[in-house]
Structure 1
Amino acid sequence: MTGTPGASSTRDGEAPERPPPCSPSYDLTGKNKVVTVDGMRVKLQIWDTAGQERFRSVTHAYYRDAQALLLLYDITNKSSFDNIRAWLTEIHEYAQQDVVIMLLGNKADVSSERVIRSEDGETLAREYGVPFMETSAKTGMNVELAFLAIAKELKYRAGRQAGEASFQIRDYVESQKKRPSCCSFL
Protein backbone atom coordinates (compact mmCIF):
# COMPACT_ATOMS: atom_id res chain seq x y z
CA MET A 1 0.00 0.00 0.00
CA THR A 2 2.10 2.89 -1.23
CA GLY A 3 0.41 6.24 -1.71
CA THR A 4 -1.62 8.79 0.15
CA PRO A 5 -4.70 7.31 1.68
CA GLY A 6 -6.67 9.91 3.58
CA ALA A 7 -8.35 9.19 6.86
CA SER A 8 -11.37 11.38 7.38
CA SER A 9 -13.73 11.68 10.31
CA THR A 10 -16.37 14.22 11.28
CA ARG A 11 -16.55 15.87 14.69
CA ASP A 12 -19.02 13.28 15.99
CA GLY A 13 -16.72 10.44 14.93
CA GLU A 14 -18.82 9.35 11.97
CA ALA A 15 -17.17 9.50 8.57
CA PRO A 16 -19.13 11.20 5.81
CA GLU A 17 -20.32 8.72 3.23
CA ARG A 18 -19.43 9.86 -0.24
CA PRO A 19 -18.37 8.24 -3.48
CA PRO A 20 -14.88 8.79 -4.84
CA PRO A 21 -14.63 11.96 -6.96
CA CYS A 22 -13.69 10.06 -10.09
CA SER A 23 -14.99 7.62 -12.61
CA PRO A 24 -15.91 4.13 -11.34
CA SER A 25 -13.45 2.71 -13.88
CA TYR A 26 -10.59 3.88 -11.65
CA ASP A 27 -9.13 1.41 -9.20
CA LEU A 28 -9.48 3.66 -6.15
CA THR A 29 -10.01 1.70 -2.96
CA GLY A 30 -12.21 3.07 -0.18
CA LYS A 31 -12.74 1.35 3.16
CA ASN A 32 -14.10 2.22 6.57
CA LYS A 33 -12.28 1.33 9.77
CA VAL A 34 -13.68 1.82 13.25
CA VAL A 35 -11.18 2.37 16.04
CA THR A 36 -12.09 2.63 19.71
CA VAL A 37 -10.29 5.42 21.53
CA ASP A 38 -10.87 5.81 25.26
CA GLY A 39 -14.26 4.12 24.93
CA MET A 40 -15.34 6.26 21.97
CA ARG A 41 -15.81 4.81 18.51
CA VAL A 42 -14.06 6.78 15.77
CA LYS A 43 -14.91 5.85 12.21
CA LEU A 44 -12.13 6.44 9.71
CA GLN A 45 -12.91 6.55 6.02
CA ILE A 46 -9.80 5.51 4.11
CA TRP A 47 -9.14 6.13 0.43
CA ASP A 48 -6.09 4.47 -1.08
CA THR A 49 -4.68 5.77 -4.37
CA ALA A 50 -1.62 3.50 -4.12
CA GLY A 51 0.42 6.52 -5.20
CA GLN A 52 -0.66 6.04 -8.80
CA GLU A 53 -0.13 9.08 -11.00
CA ARG A 54 -3.51 8.59 -12.68
CA PHE A 55 -5.16 9.62 -9.39
CA ARG A 56 -3.12 12.79 -8.94
CA SER A 57 -5.86 14.93 -10.52
CA VAL A 58 -8.57 13.66 -8.13
CA THR A 59 -6.57 13.63 -4.90
CA HIS A 60 -7.10 17.39 -4.51
CA ALA A 61 -10.78 16.73 -3.77
CA TYR A 62 -9.80 14.28 -1.02
CA TYR A 63 -7.25 16.65 0.50
CA ARG A 64 -9.86 19.39 0.89
CA ASP A 65 -12.10 17.27 3.13
CA ALA A 66 -9.55 15.05 4.87
CA GLN A 67 -8.83 15.60 8.53
CA ALA A 68 -5.89 13.17 8.43
CA LEU A 69 -3.58 11.72 5.79
CA LEU A 70 -1.31 8.70 6.02
CA LEU A 71 1.53 9.13 3.57
CA LEU A 72 3.25 5.84 2.71
CA TYR A 73 6.39 4.92 0.85
CA ASP A 74 7.86 1.52 0.12
CA ILE A 75 11.21 1.00 1.92
CA THR A 76 12.30 -1.22 -0.99
CA ASN A 77 11.53 1.40 -3.66
CA LYS A 78 13.57 4.62 -3.84
CA SER A 79 11.21 6.39 -6.24
CA SER A 80 8.28 5.95 -3.84
CA PHE A 81 10.35 7.69 -1.15
CA ASP A 82 11.50 10.38 -3.55
CA ASN A 83 7.85 11.15 -4.43
CA ILE A 84 6.97 11.94 -0.81
CA ARG A 85 8.12 15.57 -1.08
CA ALA A 86 5.84 16.14 -4.08
CA TRP A 87 2.89 14.60 -2.22
CA LEU A 88 3.63 16.77 0.83
CA THR A 89 3.79 19.88 -1.37
CA GLU A 90 0.34 19.06 -2.77
CA ILE A 91 -1.03 18.32 0.67
CA HIS A 92 0.19 21.68 1.99
CA GLU A 93 -1.34 23.39 -1.05
CA TYR A 94 -4.76 21.70 -1.09
CA ALA A 95 -5.48 20.24 2.36
CA GLN A 96 -6.88 21.97 5.41
CA GLN A 97 -4.21 23.84 7.34
CA ASP A 98 -4.66 21.66 10.44
CA VAL A 99 -4.73 18.28 8.65
CA VAL A 100 -3.00 15.51 10.61
CA ILE A 101 -0.22 13.92 8.56
CA MET A 102 1.71 10.77 9.38
CA LEU A 103 4.61 9.37 7.35
CA LEU A 104 4.87 5.60 7.10
CA GLY A 105 7.67 3.50 5.62
CA ASN A 106 5.94 0.29 4.52
CA LYS A 107 7.25 -3.25 3.89
CA ALA A 108 9.35 -3.35 7.06
CA ASP A 109 8.93 -7.14 6.92
CA VAL A 110 11.34 -7.32 3.96
CA SER A 111 14.24 -5.39 5.47
CA SER A 112 16.69 -7.55 3.48
CA GLU A 113 15.45 -5.70 0.36
CA ARG A 114 15.57 -2.29 2.03
CA VAL A 115 16.88 0.63 -0.04
CA ILE A 116 15.57 3.43 2.22
CA ARG A 117 17.09 3.56 5.69
CA SER A 118 14.78 4.12 8.63
CA GLU A 119 16.91 7.15 9.53
CA ASP A 120 16.06 8.71 6.15
CA GLY A 121 12.34 8.39 6.89
CA GLU A 122 12.85 9.87 10.35
CA THR A 123 14.84 12.79 8.91
CA LEU A 124 12.16 13.56 6.32
CA ALA A 125 9.42 13.37 8.95
CA ARG A 126 11.32 15.76 11.24
CA GLU A 127 11.82 18.15 8.32
CA TYR A 128 8.05 18.34 7.78
CA GLY A 129 7.13 18.10 11.47
CA VAL A 130 5.12 14.88 11.14
CA PRO A 131 5.24 11.62 13.10
CA PHE A 132 6.95 8.64 11.46
CA MET A 133 7.08 4.89 11.83
CA GLU A 134 7.75 1.86 9.73
CA THR A 135 4.95 -0.59 9.08
CA SER A 136 4.23 -3.85 7.35
CA ALA A 137 0.87 -4.23 5.65
CA LYS A 138 1.74 -7.91 5.18
CA THR A 139 2.35 -8.74 8.86
CA GLY A 140 0.32 -5.92 10.42
CA MET A 141 3.33 -4.46 12.22
CA ASN A 142 2.44 -0.94 13.49
CA VAL A 143 -0.61 -0.71 11.22
CA GLU A 144 -3.07 -0.63 14.11
CA LEU A 145 -0.82 1.85 15.94
CA ALA A 146 -0.91 4.22 12.95
CA PHE A 147 -4.71 4.17 12.82
CA LEU A 148 -5.03 4.44 16.60
CA ALA A 149 -2.65 7.42 16.76
CA ILE A 150 -4.60 9.23 14.04
CA ALA A 151 -7.91 8.43 15.73
CA LYS A 152 -6.60 9.63 19.13
CA GLU A 153 -5.50 12.92 17.56
CA LEU A 154 -8.87 13.42 15.84
CA LYS A 155 -10.76 12.58 19.05
CA TYR A 156 -8.59 14.96 21.03
CA ARG A 157 -9.22 17.78 18.56
CA ALA A 158 -12.97 17.16 18.53
CA GLY A 159 -13.27 17.34 22.31
CA ARG A 160 -10.51 19.79 23.20
CA GLN A 161 -11.32 22.04 26.14
CA ALA A 162 -9.75 25.45 26.70
CA GLY A 163 -6.60 25.16 28.79
CA GLU A 164 -6.41 21.38 28.35
CA ALA A 165 -2.95 19.95 27.72
CA SER A 166 -2.57 19.08 24.06
CA PHE A 167 -2.26 15.54 22.77
CA GLN A 168 1.13 15.04 21.13
CA ILE A 169 0.79 12.44 18.37
CA ARG A 170 4.58 12.20 17.84
CA ASP A 171 5.18 11.53 21.54
CA TYR A 172 2.36 8.96 21.60
CA VAL A 173 3.74 7.12 18.54
CA GLU A 174 7.28 7.10 19.96
CA SER A 175 6.14 5.82 23.36
CA GLN A 176 4.06 3.05 21.78
CA LYS A 177 6.82 1.97 19.37
CA LYS A 178 9.16 1.46 22.33
CA ARG A 179 6.73 -0.86 24.12
CA PRO A 180 7.52 -4.54 23.61
CA SER A 181 5.41 -6.06 20.83
CA CYS A 182 3.16 -3.04 20.63
CA CYS A 183 0.82 -3.11 17.71
CA SER A 184 2.88 -5.53 15.75
CA PHE A 185 1.48 -8.85 14.74
CA LEU A 186 4.66 -10.69 13.80
Structure 2
Amino acid sequence: SIGGILVFDVTNRESFDNVQKWHNEIQGYACDKIEMVIVGNKIDLEERREVKTEEGKKFAQKYGFDYFETSAKTGENVDAVFESMASKVLSKIGSGDLDPSQEIYGI
Protein backbone atom coordinates (compact mmCIF):
# COMPACT_ATOMS: atom_id res chain seq x y z
CA SER A 1 0.00 0.00 0.00
CA ILE A 2 1.08 3.56 -0.59
CA GLY A 3 -1.54 5.08 1.67
CA GLY A 4 -3.33 4.23 4.85
CA ILE A 5 -5.85 5.82 7.16
CA LEU A 6 -5.73 4.72 10.80
CA VAL A 7 -8.98 5.51 12.58
CA PHE A 8 -9.62 5.36 16.30
CA ASP A 9 -12.62 6.24 18.46
CA VAL A 10 -12.02 9.36 20.61
CA THR A 11 -14.53 7.96 23.12
CA ASN A 12 -12.55 4.73 23.56
CA ARG A 13 -9.05 4.92 25.07
CA GLU A 14 -8.26 1.32 24.08
CA SER A 15 -8.84 2.05 20.40
CA PHE A 16 -6.30 4.90 20.58
CA ASP A 17 -3.82 2.69 22.42
CA ASN A 18 -4.14 0.17 19.57
CA VAL A 19 -3.13 2.73 16.91
CA GLN A 20 0.56 2.03 17.61
CA LYS A 21 0.01 -1.71 17.10
CA TRP A 22 -1.95 -1.13 13.89
CA HIS A 23 0.78 1.19 12.62
CA ASN A 24 3.41 -1.49 13.23
CA GLU A 25 1.31 -4.13 11.44
CA ILE A 26 0.80 -1.89 8.41
CA GLN A 27 4.55 -1.38 8.08
CA GLY A 28 4.88 -5.11 7.34
CA TYR A 29 2.61 -4.86 4.30
CA ALA A 30 3.14 -1.36 2.98
CA CYS A 31 5.69 0.10 0.62
CA ASP A 32 8.55 2.11 2.11
CA LYS A 33 7.02 5.39 0.96
CA ILE A 34 3.62 4.91 2.61
CA GLU A 35 1.56 7.97 3.43
CA MET A 36 -0.52 7.72 6.59
CA VAL A 37 -3.25 9.80 8.15
CA ILE A 38 -4.38 9.36 11.75
CA VAL A 39 -8.07 10.02 12.41
CA GLY A 40 -9.88 10.45 15.70
CA ASN A 41 -13.53 9.70 15.00
CA LYS A 42 -16.81 10.27 16.89
CA ILE A 43 -16.15 13.90 17.79
CA ASP A 44 -19.91 14.37 17.85
CA LEU A 45 -19.78 12.57 21.22
CA GLU A 46 -17.62 15.20 22.91
CA GLU A 47 -19.13 14.56 26.34
CA ARG A 48 -17.82 10.96 26.18
CA ARG A 49 -14.34 11.85 24.90
CA GLU A 50 -11.48 9.84 26.45
CA VAL A 51 -8.67 10.87 24.07
CA LYS A 52 -7.65 14.52 23.93
CA THR A 53 -6.98 16.21 20.60
CA GLU A 54 -3.42 16.94 21.74
CA GLU A 55 -2.74 13.22 22.26
CA GLY A 56 -3.78 12.38 18.72
CA LYS A 57 -1.74 15.24 17.29
CA LYS A 58 1.32 14.23 19.30
CA PHE A 59 1.15 10.64 18.03
CA ALA A 60 0.72 11.76 14.42
CA GLN A 61 3.59 14.27 14.68
CA LYS A 62 5.87 11.56 16.09
CA TYR A 63 5.67 9.80 12.71
CA GLY A 64 5.18 12.84 10.48
CA PHE A 65 1.55 11.99 9.71
CA ASP A 66 -1.41 14.34 9.37
CA TYR A 67 -4.02 14.24 12.12
CA PHE A 68 -7.74 14.85 11.72
CA GLU A 69 -10.73 14.59 13.99
CA THR A 70 -13.97 13.58 12.35
CA SER A 71 -17.55 12.59 12.86
CA ALA A 72 -18.81 9.89 10.54
CA LYS A 73 -22.28 10.64 11.91
CA THR A 74 -22.31 14.32 10.94
CA GLY A 75 -19.72 14.13 8.15
CA GLU A 76 -17.49 16.73 9.83
CA ASN A 77 -13.97 16.64 8.35
CA VAL A 78 -14.51 13.31 6.58
CA ASP A 79 -13.89 14.81 3.14
CA ALA A 80 -10.74 16.53 4.42
CA VAL A 81 -9.20 13.17 5.38
CA PHE A 82 -9.62 11.70 1.92
CA GLU A 83 -8.62 14.93 0.18
CA SER A 84 -5.42 15.02 2.24
CA MET A 85 -4.57 11.41 1.40
CA ALA A 86 -5.29 11.88 -2.30
CA SER A 87 -3.19 15.04 -2.38
CA LYS A 88 -0.22 13.31 -0.74
CA VAL A 89 -0.34 10.34 -3.11
CA LEU A 90 -0.79 12.50 -6.21
CA SER A 91 2.11 14.69 -5.09
CA LYS A 92 4.38 11.63 -4.85
CA ILE A 93 3.28 10.48 -8.29
CA GLY A 94 3.82 13.96 -9.72
CA SER A 95 7.31 14.20 -8.24
CA GLY A 96 8.26 10.77 -9.56
CA ASP A 97 8.62 9.22 -6.10
CA LEU A 98 5.90 6.75 -7.09
CA ASP A 99 5.24 5.27 -10.50
CA PRO A 100 1.96 3.35 -10.43
CA SER A 101 2.55 2.08 -13.97
CA GLN A 102 5.64 0.18 -12.80
CA GLU A 103 4.42 -1.27 -9.52
CA ILE A 104 1.21 -2.44 -7.91
CA TYR A 105 0.05 -0.08 -5.20
CA GLY A 106 -3.06 0.10 -3.09
CA ILE A 107 -4.62 2.58 -0.76
CA RMSD of aligned residues (A): 1.4
Write 1 or 2 for the structure with the bigger share of helix: 2
Q: Give the corresponding residue for 2:13.
A: 78
Displacement of 1:140 in angstroms is: 0.7
What is residue 24 of structure 2 aligned with on the other side?
A: 89
Separation of aligned partners in 2, 1:92 and 1:109 = 31
Bigger relative contact order (CA 8 A; separation at least 6): 2
Moved over 4 A (4+): none
After TM superposition, the score normalised by the length of structure 2 is 0.85
Matched residue of 1:121: which SS?
Answer: helix
Q: Does 1:132 align with 2:67?
A: yes
Q: Structure 1, unaligned stretches of length 5 or more?
A: 1-65, 162-186
Match in the other structure for 1:153:
88
Correspondence 1:59-70 to 2 at 5 A:
66-70=1-5
Gaps of 5+ in 2: 97-107
1:110 matched to 2:42: no
Aligned residue for 1:94, secondary structure, equals coil
Deviations 1:134-168 (A, max 9, x none): 0111111110011011111111122226xxxxxxx
**Letter of the structure 2 residue corresponding to residue 86 of structure 1:** K
Aligned residue pairs total: 97
Q: Secondary structure at the match of 1:97?
A: coil
User: Structure 1 residue 101 and structure 2 residue 36: aligned?
Assistant: yes
Give the superposition deviation at 1:131: 0.7
Deviation of residue 103 (structure 1)? 0.2
* Structure 2 CA distance for aligned equivalents of residues 95 and 79 of structure 1: 24
